[in-house]
Amino acid sequence: MCSAGIDCLRDGQGTLMGPAIDIGPVEAVGATSPQEPAWVGRPGLSVTEQPTQPGCWRWSQPPGGECCVRLRGGAPPLATGWKSTIRSRVGNAEKQPVALGDIQETLLIPLLARAVETERNNGLVDDRRAVEIVAQIDYDFDRWRGHPSLPGACLRTRIFDDIASAFLREHPEGTIVEIGCGLNTRFERIDNGRATWIELDLPDSIALRRRFFDDAPRRTMVVGSVLDEPWLDVVEDAPAPSLLLAEAVLIYLQPEAVRATVTRMAERFGGSQFVTDICGEKMTSKETARKAMRQLGINAWFEWTCNDARDIQTWHPGIELVTSGTMPALGGKFRPLLPFSWRAMMRLTPWLVRRLTEGYEIAHFRFGKAPSGPKQ
């Protein structure tokens, strides 16, 4: 084990971007030689060549930039395990307390889901940052470990990731807006090095988030409610078009609040896209809410009922439904990455899968420019 620091960070034209940055303890994982290290702790960097300086590797960092990582104390040991690296890095760190509202507390469930999937070989996501954060938070995560909802939460995240990645391929310099960002790490997972990211959440969620993440030239945290107006101005000033992601957020709000929010977005962000999950009446029933809150030990559940995503198109003439489907339908290509129990259930009892996921969908919309005058 050794420490490494970024001694130089330059863009594609060789311009110095900033001072040296300490990335903390790292170790090589899955490397076959000292010339091909794969570092824990610096997502998005990959080795391109070994320069002439002893103990210094050149790493690619989109778009076309590079940084020189100098190893202090020689090359680290190879393939000794990223989990032990994380444990050693956070083992002596002070645990971060959690003080969140009832709805905001639910952000910890997908965080744990991503950490659990990362610890599983060939899981739905590789999110070692989530593993680190779980290890640093003073919270009883054990009550959720093994819960059947965790793979579902992770599959939902992977579907949102897939939609966002497709948007970035089409609009590499557009803007991703994370509504109710919580402790999401989508930027770390799929950022292309060119897009702008806006991460919106309530004051208590952002206060917790700032203990683990910092603003950057292309990444800004915004304190506020999705029901308020100011964040809309921030998005309007960002590079267009935007992709607005509301993963497990709007479903906790009252129907009239959801309608007003989506309508405002459609009015102001013509040409942009919007993705949210929706719940049918089966998912929002009082019986389902009581059972789910008891099993998960939480005090909030879904409030907004939407039985058909096409109904949202009637809220504003500029709203167009691109696609909507259940997670098994939209996430079919990720089936080989699901836990064995889920794969077996999908193969042997597909009717049961349909029943369990019925009424919960992910809907993708496009905002067009609304015609003048009232909708007929």
Q: Enumerate the β-bridge partners of residue 270.
A: none
- DSSP for 243-271, written as a single string: EEEETTSGGGS-HHHHHHHHHHHHHH-TT
Strands 273-279 and 242-246: parallel
Name the helix (H) or strand (E) containing 316: none
Q: Where are the beta strands (DSSP E) in 105-264?
A: 175-179, 196-201, 219-223, 242-246
- Can you give the pLDDT of all 376 residues of the chain as single tens digits? 222 333 333 333 333 333 323 333 333 323 333 333 333 333 343 333 333 333 333 333 333 333 333 333 333 332 334 454 445 455 556 789 999 999 999 999 999 999 999 988 788 899 999 999 999 999 999 999 988 889 889 999 999 999 999 999 999 999 999 999 999 999 999 999 999 999 999 999 999 999 999 999 999 999 999 999 999 999 999 999 999 999 999 999 999 999 999 999 999 999 999 999 999 998 899 999 999 999 999 999 999 999 999 999 999 999 999 999 987 778 777 777 777 666 776 676 776 666 666 789 999 999 997 443 333 3
Backbone dihedral angles phi then psi of residue 203, each to the nearest 5 degrees: -55, -45
CB 25 within 8 Å of CB 40: no
How far is Cα 204 from Cα 98, in angstroms, rounded to an integer?
9
Hey, what amino acid is at 224?
G
pLDDT of residue 329: 79
Closest alpha carbon to 297 in 82, 41, 108: 108
Closest alpha carbon to 88 in 26, 30, 138, 31: 26
pLDDT of residue 120: 85
Compute CA distances 116 → 153, 184, 206, whole Å: 11, 14, 23
pLDDT of residue 336: 75
pLDDT of residue 9: 32
How far is Cα 177 from Cα 232, in angstroms, rounded to an integer?
10
CB-based contacts of 325: which residues, under 8 Å, 6+ apart? 361, 362
Name the DSSP class of 337: G
CB 242 within 8 Å of CB 273: yes
Q: Note the helical H segments in 50-127.
A: 82-90, 102-105, 108-119
Please give the model's pTM, rounded to 2 decimal places: 0.74
Compute CA distances 76 → 2, 27, 147, whole Å: 6, 6, 37
Length of the chain measured in residues: 376
